[in-house]
Amino acid sequence: MRSIQFTAFGVAGALAVAGLAGCADKAESTASTGGPITVEAGDTSCAVSRTEVPAGQHTFTVSNSGGKVTEFYVYGAGDRVMGEVENVAPGLSREFKVELPPGTYQTACKPGMVGDGIRAAFTVTGSAQPVQLDAALAGAAENYQQYVRSQTTALLDSTGEFVAAVKAGDVAKAKELYPVARTYWERIEPVAEIFGDLDPKIDGRADVVDEGMEFTGYHRLEKDLWTTGDISKDGPIADQLLADVKEIVAKANAEQLTPLQLANGAKDLLDEVASSKITGEEERYSHTDLWDFSANVEGSKAAVAALRPALEQRAPDLVKTLDEEFANVTSALEQHRSGDGWAGQDTLSQAELKKLSDAVNALAEPISQIAGVVAGK
């Protein structure tokens, strides 16, 4: 899989050159009113039907012609998610709409949902207006909310599949689906944590019993799957999980997040990594902590990317540091890839865990400065 480095241009990118006259007539016919942009996503390919469009709203139709579950993203500078579809199963086709201001973007298919994806440049033409700070902050919340919606959609789907496997008594399949379903949960966990009572029902660990709660949710099923392997009585637990997830998804989609909540959410996700993933506390039975680790970092990155236009105006040096440290964490984690997933937390040496911990701390410190920048002055 390729990993393409690209320079971070702002949304108001100066490279939005409209002067490619040869494309003009074609582009006009498919502008805001035109037909969808099609994406053929294979296991090793990502064919996007057009790579230059005029500014405005566009529809992407993503067809998975490969054998792995895939994702498709349109990224702005700093991997700001402009639009995406998650969890596209082989043979399926999904559609999404996205409003694109002039600028340079990247498209990415992620077969197997791993890594940076198969990337290509994507240009949106037209003349850009400078982004006002207020608009940048409002846009941040909107951008992240759209990300949350895409994740919750995939969360519902993947949890549904996991629950179905549990209820069918298919231990092997349930074990395979478990970390995938949790990926979507872990990416947006701070949003879920806003809903205090639901979060422990869905994601609480055995310790919740001490607080007088019943032990339900993902980790209860995790325990049964990985300790006794007996899930014959877990049907009601599985049903409860899906019902709780549905409820939290509805609430999360309706929630209006503030830029400050985004900033704190980005930090909270890394604190999650530092306090319960590196230690193996979270996935104590399955040891799939590195799946959560990766998802937490991705979620944090999405929140930071949403804030990027505002941060570039107020704290360009911080943006540079964040880019470097995100890249460091990602490359440190990549050492522990195993197939389309991750090595078990329990297979890492203390020295390897320390390296990850150092990288997370190095990222979390500058991320903790974002809230001050957003709120400041």
Q: How many whole angstroms separate alpha carbon 108 and alpha carbon 117? A: 5
Size of the site for other proteins (CB under 8 A): 23
Q: Where are the beta strands (DSSP E) in the chain?
A: 37-41, 46-48, 52-54, 56-64, 70-76, 80-88, 93-100, 103-109, 118-125, 337-338, 341-342
Question: At what angle are helices 259-272 and 133-167 packed, to 10 degrees?
Answer: 40
Task: Tell me the window of 35-43, 100-108, 292-300, 369-377 that interacts with other proteins (CB under 8 A).
Answer: 369-377
> Quick one: 33 or 350, whose CB is closer to other proteins?
350
Write down the least CB distance from residue 141 to other proteins, Å: 16
Write down the least CB distance from residue 376 to other proteins, Å: 5
Identify any residues that bridge with 61 across adjacent strands, giving them in sequence order. Answer: 38, 95
Q: Is residue 320 a contact residue for other proteins (CB under 8 A)? A: no
Write down the least CB distance from residue 48 to other proteins, Å: 36
Distances (CA, A) of 63 to 99, 108, 110: 20, 13, 12
Closest by CA to 339, choosing from 268, 290, 267, 274, is 290
Positions in 232-291 near other proteins (CB under 8 A): 260
Write down the least CB distance from residue 35 to other proteins, Å: 46
Write down the least CB distance from residue 360 to other proteins, Å: 10
> Quick one: 232 or 350, whose CB is closer to other proteins?
350
> Quick one: 224 or 325, whose CB is closer to other proteins?
325
Write down the least CB distance from residue 377 to other proteins, Å: 8
Q: Tell me phi and psi for residue 125, to 5 degrees.
A: -90, 165
Q: Is residue 304 a contact residue for other proteins (CB under 8 A)? A: no
> Quick one: 84 or 272, whose CB is closer to other proteins?
272
Q: Tell me phi and psi for residue 259, to 5 degrees.
A: -55, -35
Q: Is residue 363 a contact residue for other proteins (CB under 8 A)? A: yes
Write down the least CB distance from residue 85 to other proteins, Å: 34
Angle at 364 between CA 120 and CA 132, to 5 degrees: 60
- Strand 118-125 and strand 52-54: the pairing is parallel
Positions in 342-361 near other proteins (CB under 8 A): 350-351, 354, 357-359, 361
Interacting residue ranges for other proteins, rule: CB under 8 A: 260, 321, 325, 350-351, 354, 357-359, 361-366, 368-369, 371-376
